């Protein structure tokens, strides 16, 4: 486990309570990561929560481990999680966690850099801190609101700053589709078509979905410029646990998150198609293109 003291110099101006919560989040994510490593490349019984929405017993084990770590720190904590506690009523101060993001990648062994454990803390309608742990590649990304986004904790973390592409025509855009074509939002479908025509993006892809991809974009990896998420309110694809940790890391690295109409901040509790972009410039061009598709 990481000693949070290794990153305290970065947090010298952060209040002790936030520093302590960050330590809890890092530890909780790493504990779940050990479960992922121990169960990788092992056959698991798969359950479908919806068409293409896969889950196995490892998701639940990771959820229990994260919740136990948080409750050890604060036995009265409210925790929003994908598997064990997806409804917390009207709570305004709470933890949020995705115990195993990228479950399909984990189950089918598609790519070791995709599965992650995500933990965040939220209060007063804002995210205070976020952690995304990639256990199979031994990488960790984290952010504290107003402080910045970082990769790694040992020997001095690396500050994350998004690349700043200027033109959509030079950009790579990832389209995170709904796995059930019948539920794909019309606005998402129209934008997907326009992006693949002259005047659209240079590269448009749809890979195995994983919310941790936003952290990779924040780090400037793979030259990814934007992710467009389908999120039909009739069948939510990206829940709060998918969005909240990734959004803070991206925004603290200089990226932007908005609805297809450009509304900010994006509300993860009012689902609709949305964009995560490496720059305001690319975000604005995507919003303009989406408007043409109406």
Q: What is the 3-state secondary structure (H, E, C) of the chain?
A: CCCHHHHHHHHCCCCHHHHHHHHHHHHHHHHHHHHHHHHCCCCCCCEEEECCEEECHHHHHHHHHHHHHHHHHCCCCCEEECCCCCCCCCCCEEEEEEEEECHHHHHHCCCCCCCEEEEEEEECCEEEEEEEEECCCCEEEEEECCCEEEECCCCCCEECCCCCCCCHHHCEEEEECCCCHHHCCHHHHHHHHHHCCCCCCCEEECCCCCCCHHHHHHCCHHHCCEEEECCCCCCCCCCHHHHHHHHHHHHHCCCEEEECCCCCCCCCCCCCCEEEECCHHHHHHHHHHHHHCC
More confident residue, 102 or 134: 134
Say what percent of the chain tops pLDDT 70.
Answer: 91
Class assignment of domain 4-159? alpha beta
- pLDDT of res. 44: 62
Class assignment of domain 168-292? alpha beta
- pLDDT of res. 8: 63
Question: Among the listed ranges 25-39, 144-158, 182-196, which one has the minimum average pLDDT value?
Answer: 144-158
pLDDT in tens, 149-176: 999 876 678 899 998 778 999 999 999 9
More confident residue, 164 or 6: 164
Exposure class string for 149-177: b at 16+ Cβ within 10 A, else e: bbbbbeeebeebbbbebeebeebbbbbbb
Say what percent of the chain tops pLDDT 90.
Answer: 66
Q: How far apart (Å, rounded) are the C-alpha atoms in residues 86 and 96? A: 9
As a residue count, the chain comes to: 294
User: CATH 3.40.190.80 occupies which residues in the chain?
Assistant: 168-292
Question: Among the listed ranges 99-108, 194-203, 252-261, 264-273, which one has the minimum average pLDDT value?
Answer: 99-108
- pLDDT of res. 50: 58
pLDDT at 132 over 50: yes
Average pLDDT over residues 211-239: 88
pLDDT at 1 over 50: no
Average pLDDT over residues 228-234: 86
User: CATH 3.30.540.10 occupies which residues in the chain?
Assistant: 4-159
């Amino acid at each position: 486990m990481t000693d949070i003291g290794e990153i305290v110099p970065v947090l010298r101006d952060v209040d002790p309570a936030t520093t302590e919560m960050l330590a809890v989040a890092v530890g909780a994510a790493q504990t779940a990561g050990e479960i992922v490593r121990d169960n990788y490349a092992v056959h698991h019984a798969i359950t479908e929560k919806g068409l293409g929405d896969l889950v196995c017993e490892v998701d639940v084990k990771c959820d229990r481990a994260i919740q136990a770590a948080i409750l050890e720190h604060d036995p009265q904590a409210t925790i929003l999680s994908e598997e064990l506690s997806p409804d917390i009523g009207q709570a305004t101060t709470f933890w949020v966690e995705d115990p195993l993001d990228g479950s399909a990648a984990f189950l089918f062994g598609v790519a070791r850099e995709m599965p992650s454990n995500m933990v965040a803390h939220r209060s007063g309608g804002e995210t205070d801190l976020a952690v995304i742990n990639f256990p199979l590649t031994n990488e960790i990304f984290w952010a504290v609101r107003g402080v910045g986004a970082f990769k790694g904790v040992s020997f001095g973390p690396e500050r994350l700053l998004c690349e700043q592409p200027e033109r959509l025509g030079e950009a790579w855009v990832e389209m995170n589709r709904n796995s059930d074509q019948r539920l794909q939002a019309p606005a998402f479908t129209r934008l997907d078509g326009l992006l693949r025509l002259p005047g659209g993006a240079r590269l448009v892809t749809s890979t195995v979905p994983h919310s941790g991809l936003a952290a990779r974009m924040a780090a400037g990896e793979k030259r990814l410029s934007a992710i467009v998420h389908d999120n039909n309110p009739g069948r939510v694809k990206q829940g709060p646990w998918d969005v909240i940790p990734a959004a803070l890391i991206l925004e603290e690295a200089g990226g932007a998150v908005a609805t297809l109409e450009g509304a900010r901040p994006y509300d993860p509790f009012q689902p609709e198609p949305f964009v995560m972009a490496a720059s305001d410039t690319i975000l604005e061009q995507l919003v303009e293109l989406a408007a043409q598709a109406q």
